[in-house]
Amino acid sequence: MRYSQERRFAFVSRWLMVVIMAFGILSCASNDKPSQADLNNIASPQQWLDLAQQAKEPERSEYRLNATRLYLRSGRLDLAASTLAATNPTNLANQQHWLLLDAQVKMAQGDMASAEQSYDKAIAQPLVNGQLNDERYALATAIHQYHEDYWGAAQQAVKRYPYVEPERQQKVQQQIWNLLGEVEKSQPARFNGQSIDPAFDGWLSLYQILNTKGQLKHVLAQLQQWQQRYPKHPAAATLPSNLNEAMTATDQKPADVAVILPLSGAYKAQGHALRNGMLQAVLDDLESPTQLHFYDSGRNTIADLYQQIQQDGHSIIIGPLLKSNVRTLLELADNSVQILALNQVDADQQSQMISSFALSPELEGRNTAQFFIDQGIEHPLLLQANGNSYQRITHSFEQTWQQQDNAQDIALVPIQDAKNMQKQVQQVMGITDSKARAVELARVLGLKLESEPRSRADIDAIYVVASSQQARLLKSFVDVTISPFADPVNVYAGPRSHNGQSSEFNGIYVADIPLLTSPSLSQQKAAVETLAPEWQYSDIRLFAMGHDALSLIPQLQALRQLPGFTVSGWTGDLSVSEQGEVGVSLPWSQYKDQRLVPVSS
């Protein structure tokens, strides 16, 4: 879509400021002008104009051109234009400089055709003053972007990069990434080939590696290949400074890990499930040097445990589990200890040495909302039971849902109790109103009418946020409520609404951990059920979480340096945000004949 005149004017105004602010004051050596140190201290257009009155050519034009630039930088377009118009450079260097400034003035005035003419004249010959290349390629980038040629704009920005002062390189790097992002959206076919410029190919290749989200091991291998192919490429500066260290650490298992869990007391069942999962991770890798040292938070205070861990010389801690204990530990810990907390970490305690892993209600809500967005669902209905965790799921779902462009409103229905559940479902699906309309029509006509109630047609997904028992009932009520005249509506549920197979679940879509749903882990699931037949699904989830927590330790820093990339775990595809929060993408399955069948996300 072409820019409107107003949008183009706004664009060139923004670009003018970028171009102007980017360039320092240019000057040529001469025996008749003040010292370079004095010239570098000039900060006002009038100073340059005063100096020009006392100078001869070519310095007189040079100083007036410097004044023009400062007028442009401060937004005084009229003075910039008049100063430039009254300047008549005699040598080629100043003439090229004059034309580049004239292009900026014309661009600011909205006369893009004239701006391009001045630019073309300026570069008709190689620039005499090499310092002007920064300005030249910045203008070229703006012109290409104005014409929505993001591929050409990105190439010009790459050409500009070698001429940019170090303190401004980061902004140009970000500009290159942004332009390549526009190419990916508007001209994706461009990515299929290579250009004739090796420098540009290096930027393009790195962009593709970093923006094709996937498994961490794949991206690390690609990054190593990229570094070998482009050993001195400037784009390497865009990578995290300690990425190489993080990449090396992914292959190094820790010698020992301290684990703080409630192994006695009210939460010992959860603690034992997590502990057994970590032990299983050690058994799965018999060559691993890792030794686990468990500390019982059910019998001892966190302060006493942390003191003991310090005395024992451990530098890595997994745990604790309870939120209050996590906060206490983080208040005591220093930056010499790496911690993977098994609950959420408050924003005021986040640091590079602290990560958090929790199968929280918020995680479930975000996961479902993102899945709905990916599936193109526009009008979801949420049936939410009472309870703090269900409210947290719903709130997280709503927050993620509203982040998308043009997000539609969510229909939310709190479910009060099982006694009135079916009545509430009929009301929200429009059945109650449909029946009332049929009765009223029969009364008005004075006839006995046979009618089939019609359910509302504006709902394209139903998300049940309730217990497993409530979810089964709600699914049954929804099935009998949807009228035969309406398209079927899929029903979805998360882990807290799923606790075992049931015929009432037939057709429902379930998000849950791979250890419970993936055929590739069926042997591991069977082994767990054999060893602990009394375990509920909630226990198996904690077992899988313990397994993944220990497996994550060597990869935490690399994942944190590359947000969005994942490793496969028993709880799902795991990623780590820049703040250290472990995210879990849960796979989706559908119940068919009391068997979970994986579906594509």
- CATH number of the domain residue 303 falls in: 3.40.50.2300
Q: How confident is the model at residue 438 (pLDDT cuts 50, 70, 90)?
A: very low
**Which of 485, 486, 438 is CA-nearest to residue 462?**
486
- Among 336, 356, 376, the domain-final residue is 356
Instruction: Read off the pLDDT of each residue in 86-91 and give the average, rounded to a whole number.
Output: 92
The pLDDT of residue 445 = 43
**Which of 347, 351, 348 is CA-nearest to residue 339?**
351
Query: Token pair of 119, please?
Result: 């630019």
C-alpha 358: how far from chain center: 19
Does some domain include residue 175?
A: yes
pLDDT above 90: residue 397: yes
Same domain, 367 and 350: no
Q: CA-to-CA distance for 303 and 283, rounded, in angstroms?
A: 31
Which residue range is the domain that position 403 belongs to?
361-512
Q: CA-to-CA distance for 238 and 174, rounded, in angstroms?
A: 9
Same domain, 133 and 20: yes
**Please, are residues 62 and 27 in contact by the beta-carbon 8 Å criterion?**
yes
pTM above 0.85, yes or no: no
Write out pLDDT tens, residues 116-134: 999 999 999 988 888 889 8
SS3 566: strand
Same domain, 346 and 365: no
Same domain, 378 and 411: yes
Does some domain include residue 412?
A: yes
Write out pLDDT tens, residues 274-323: 999 999 999 988 778 889 999 999 999 999 999 999 999 999 999 999 99
The pLDDT of residue 444 = 41
Kindly report the average pLDDT of the chain as a whole number: 83
pLDDT above 80: residue 79: yes
Does some domain include residue 549?
A: no
The pLDDT of residue 327 = 95
**Please, are residues 271 and 261 in contact by the beta-carbon 8 Å criterion?**
yes
The pLDDT of residue 193 = 63
Instruction: Read off the pLDDT of each residue in 163-186 and give the average, rounded to a whole number.
Output: 88
Q: CA-to-CA distance for 492 and 494, rounded, in angstroms?
A: 7
Same domain, 378 and 504: yes
- Among 486, 512, 538, the domain-final residue is 512
**Helices 537-552 & 522-531 angle (0-180, nearest 10):** 120
Write out pLDDT tens, residues 552-593: 998 888 888 888 888 999 999 999 998 999 999 999 998 888
The pLDDT of residue 467 = 86
pLDDT above 50: residue 499: yes
pLDDT above 70: residue 402: yes
Same domain, 192 and 334: no
Does some domain include residue 95?
A: yes
The tally of domains found in the chain comes to 3
Q: CA-to-CA distance for 425 and 420, rounded, in angstroms?
A: 9
**Which of 410, 320, 323, 400 is CA-nearest to residue 360?**
323
**Please, are residues 274 and 261 in contact by the beta-carbon 8 Å criterion?**
yes
- Among 238, 268, 296, the domain-final residue is 238
Same domain, 230 and 277: no
Question: What is the chain's length?
Answer: 601
DSSP string, 265-278: STTHHHHHHHHHHH
Q: How confident is the model at residue 480 (pLDDT cuts 50, 70, 90)?
A: low
Same domain, 173 and 276: no
Does some domain include residue 585?
A: no
DSSP 407: P
Q: CA-to-CA distance for 108 and 525, rounded, in angstroms?
A: 66
Instruction: Read off the pLDDT of each residue in 219-230 and give the average, rounded to a whole number.
Output: 86
Does some domain include residue 595?
A: no
In 230-329 the beta strands, taken as DSSP E runs, fall at: 256-261, 291-296, 316-318
The pLDDT of residue 305 = 96
**Which of 357, 322, 323 is CA-nearest to residue 338?**
357
The pLDDT of residue 414 = 80
Sheet holding 380-385, edge to edge: 411-415, 380-385, 461-465, 491-493, 509-511, 588-592, 595-598
**Which of 575, 566, 572 is CA-nearest to residue 588?**
572
Same domain, 401 and 368: yes
DSSP string, 378-395: -SEEEEEESSHHHHHHHH
Strand partners of residue 257: 292
Q: How confident is the model at residue 600 (pLDDT cuts 50, 70, 90)?
A: low
Same domain, 379 and 347: no
pLDDT above 80: residue 35: no
Q: How confident is the model at residue 41 (pLDDT cuts 50, 70, 90)?
A: confident
Does some domain include residue 119?
A: yes
Instruction: Read off the pLDDT of each residue in 48-62 and give the average, rounded to a whole number.
Output: 89
What's 157's domain CATH number?
1.25.40.10
pLDDT above 90: residue 396: yes
More confident: 1 or 186: 186
The pLDDT of residue 487 = 64
Instruction: Read off the pLDDT of each residue in 90-116 and give the average, rounded to a whole number.
Output: 91
Q: Is the dihedral of CA 188, 189, 193, 194 positive or negative?
A: negative
Same domain, 455 and 334: no
Same domain, 151 and 231: yes
Does some domain include residue 601?
A: no
| Whole-number percent of the chain with pLDDT over 90 | 42
Q: How confident is the model at residue 440 (pLDDT cuts 50, 70, 90)?
A: very low
More confident: 479 or 378: 378
Instruction: Read off the pLDDT of each residue in 39-63 and give the average, rounded to a whole number.
Output: 86
More confident: 441 or 3: 3
573-582 own/partner pairs: CB under 8 Å, 24+ apart: 574/548, 576/355, 579/347, 579/350, 580/345, 580/350, 580/351, 580/352, 580/354, 580/355, 580/356, 580/556, 581/344, 581/345, 581/355, 581/356, 582/340, 582/355, 582/356, 582/357, 582/358, 582/552
Q: How confident is the model at residue 29 (pLDDT cuts 50, 70, 90)?
A: very low
15-21 own/partner pairs: CB under 8 Å, 24+ apart: 15/107, 15/142, 15/145, 15/146, 16/72, 16/104, 16/107, 16/108, 16/142, 17/73, 17/75, 18/138, 18/142, 19/104, 19/135, 19/138, 19/139, 19/142, 20/69, 20/72, 20/73, 20/104, 21/73
Q: How confident is the model at residue 7 (pLDDT cuts 50, 70, 90)?
A: low
